Amino acid sequence: MATSLANTTVPFIARQSHRHIYNKPRLKYSFSARNSQYRSLITGRKPTSCKVLTKTNTNGYLAPANKVFELKNEEEKEEDDIIIEEEHKEHLANRWSEIHGGDDWEGMLDPMDSLLRSELIRYGEFAQACYDAFDHDSYSKYCGSCLYTPRNFFKSLGMTGFGYSVTRYLYATTHAPGLSNFFKKSKWGKVWSENSNWMGYVAVSNDETSKHLGRRDITIAWRGTVTKLEWVADLKDILRPIQPYNIPSPDPTVKVQAGFLGVYTDKDENCPYGQYSAREQIVTEIQRLTKMYSNENLSITVTGHSMGAALAILSAYDIAETGLNLLDDGRAIPVCVYSFSGPRVGNSRFKERLEVVGVKVLRVVNVHDVVPMAPGFLVNEHSALLIRKYMPLFIRKLIEWLPWSYSHVGEELALDHKHSPFLNDTWDPTDSHNLEVHLHLLDGYHGKNKTFELASKRDHALVNKASNFLKEEHLVPPNWRQDANKGMARNKEGRWIQPDRLKLGDHHHKKHGLNGDHH
């Protein structure tokens, strides 16, 4: 896709949708920052006036189209515009292993560790970027693809301050039943891909950011469901052994939900973007990057929301079980998953094997969200405790073999949207499931039974980006993020058309070493 198209089809309001900051105590007012929350701090000032939220100002907050935020004076602007928070960066560089789950986040969730909170929000925004960049409009001939090229991905979303570069896009196809609501298709007759969807990306931190992080970070971000939750109801509670899917495991009883396995391993040789499975794309890219940076301290961080959270856990397990995180000098690269509102993925054997190979998982959930309760509504890790306590051994063994016996993995951070004074009291399941809501709740969470207070003053308007969850008093319009003119543009003859995208993204398999022979 051409860069010029990104500049015409997506308005400025959509690009500055992630920004937030971390306050210094000496500041009285704080605005959202365009750059990464851990790298810079913007000194905020009181706005002179505000009418309607129609575009984004330079600080990242929604602001009126016909008004600007006036500064006290230009000298103050130059002096206080960007203040690098050196202390924060030094703490992150020294504590990254702990933040990455080295001690299973013991003592960090209650009370909430401020540095962990900031990193959870940061990786949550990597997952949110998958939604903001996804073309889900069925009237677009490029429906199901990414709106931006890999080179301009973070720039187009206003995320250049994060200090990462996309190294590969991920695509998937599936023949699994019950997932038709997950994959988006265009109404056009001739489309970019018949059976594939853009599923996310692999990115790596640049030199400067790696210095601040204390290591070179390889991040994998998976796309989840865009709007509806029908896929949860359609999801079949069928567990399949992973070995027949070419995912190595010494334990043949390790099983994963069939639909997730399908998305991760299916391919369509007749489709240019589906010739190689998502798994094959992940394997070759992780091999390439770990070899490229083998002389540095590395981490592999996988994130995703909704079904993307399930794929994050499955791919992280695959990386560790396959040994892709093992370097030639004997070092093991830490593998961590930050999961947001994810469903159960596999059985208890999968959970045990995940722990054996050393994958750390921190699951962020909203207690009112139904997705983390599925699949395995009846037989899960909670009922397993009662079964072990009261049932004889042969019944316990029988239940373990049931095709709908699931277990959550890792550690859980449970949030409650009813604790936020910004949100309506609603029973809409899509609101409870919304990723921006989870990031809002994270920012206000300080521990169990503690007052909800936004720690970084993250812009609460982001909650209504794709929902109507904020209270009316905040005067933020619902579902405010949208592409300008639905992607339509005038041609030389003055007619409104959908412009062609010159390039959807680099998917040359030979360049990435894909030969379909990965185990």
> Consecutive 10-residue runs of the chain (519 residues): their mean pLDDT?
36 35 31 35 31 41 38 38 48 95 97 97 98 90 91 94 96 72 70 81 97 97 75 70 93 93 90 90 98 98 96 98 97 98 94 97 96 79 54 58 80 97 91 96 97 95 96 96 87 91 56 49
The catalytic residue among 193, 306, 407, 467 is: 306
Name the amino acid, one letter, at 460.
H
Predicted confidence at residue 228, as pLDDT, reads 61
Q: Using CA atoms in the order 209, 213, 214, 220, what is the torsion angle rounded to 10 degrees?
A: -90
Look at residue 118 and tell me if it is in a domain.
yes
The catalytic residue among 20, 417, 433, 438 is: 433
- Residues facing residue 338 across a β-bridge: 303, 362
Look at residue 60 and tell me if it is in a domain.
no
Going by C-alpha positions, the residue among 403, 110, 107, 122 that lies closest to residue 239 is: 403
Name the amino acid, one letter, at 143.
C
| pLDDT tens digits, one per residue of 23-59 | 333 332 232 333 333 333 222 333 333 333 444 444 4
Q: How far apart are CA 470 and CA 464, in angstroms?
A: 6
Q: Which long-range contacts (CB under 8 A, 24 or more apart) does 48-56 make?
A: 53/461, 53/475, 53/476, 53/477, 53/480, 54/13, 55/11, 55/12, 55/13, 56/12, 56/13, 56/15, 56/16, 56/17
Q: Pairing between strand 298-305 and 255-257?
A: unpaired
Look at residue 466 and tell me if it is in a domain.
no
The reply to whether 100 belongs to the active site is no
Cβ-based neighbours of 7, under 8 Å, separated by 6 or more: none
Pair of tokens at residue 364: 């962020």
The reply to whether 266 belongs to the active site is no
Look at residue 56 and tell me if it is in a domain.
no
In terms of Cβ atoms closer than 10 Å to its own Cβ (0-12, 13-18, 19+), residue 226 is middle
Q: How far apart are CA 270 and CA 268, in angstroms?
A: 5
The domain that holds 103 is classified in CATH as 3.40.50.1820
Measured in residues, the chain has a length of 519
pTM for the model stands at 0.81
Look at residue 423 and tell me if it is in a domain.
no
Predicted confidence at residue 180, as pLDDT, reads 58
Q: How far apart are CA 195 and CA 172, in angstroms?
A: 8
Query: For tokens 């306590």, what's the residue?
Result: 389
Look at residue 467 and tell me if it is in a domain.
no
Look at residue 296 and tell me if it is in a domain.
yes
Residue 93 region, left (φ>0) first, then alpha (ψ -120 to 50), else beta? alpha
Name the amino acid, one letter, at 470.
L
Predicted confidence at residue 232, as pLDDT, reads 63
Going by C-alpha positions, the residue among 225, 190, 182, 171 that lies closest to residue 369 is: 225
The catalytic residue among 132, 135, 318, 369 is: 369
Q: Looking at the 3D structure of the chain, how many domains does it have?
A: 1
Which segments of 348-423 are extended strands (E)?
Answer: 360-366, 411-415
Going by C-alpha positions, the residue among 128, 214, 123, 237 that lies closest to residue 481 is: 128
Q: How far apart are CA 87 and CA 23, in angstroms?
A: 12
The reply to whether 305 belongs to the active site is no
Name the amino acid, one letter, at 25.
P
Predicted confidence at residue 403, as pLDDT, reads 60
Which residue range is the domain that position 126 belongs to? 74-379+406-418+430-458
Going by C-alpha positions, the residue among 374, 466, 430 that lies closest to residue 131 is: 466
Percent of the chain scoring above 70 in pLDDT: 69
Look at residue 304 and tell me if it is in a domain.
yes
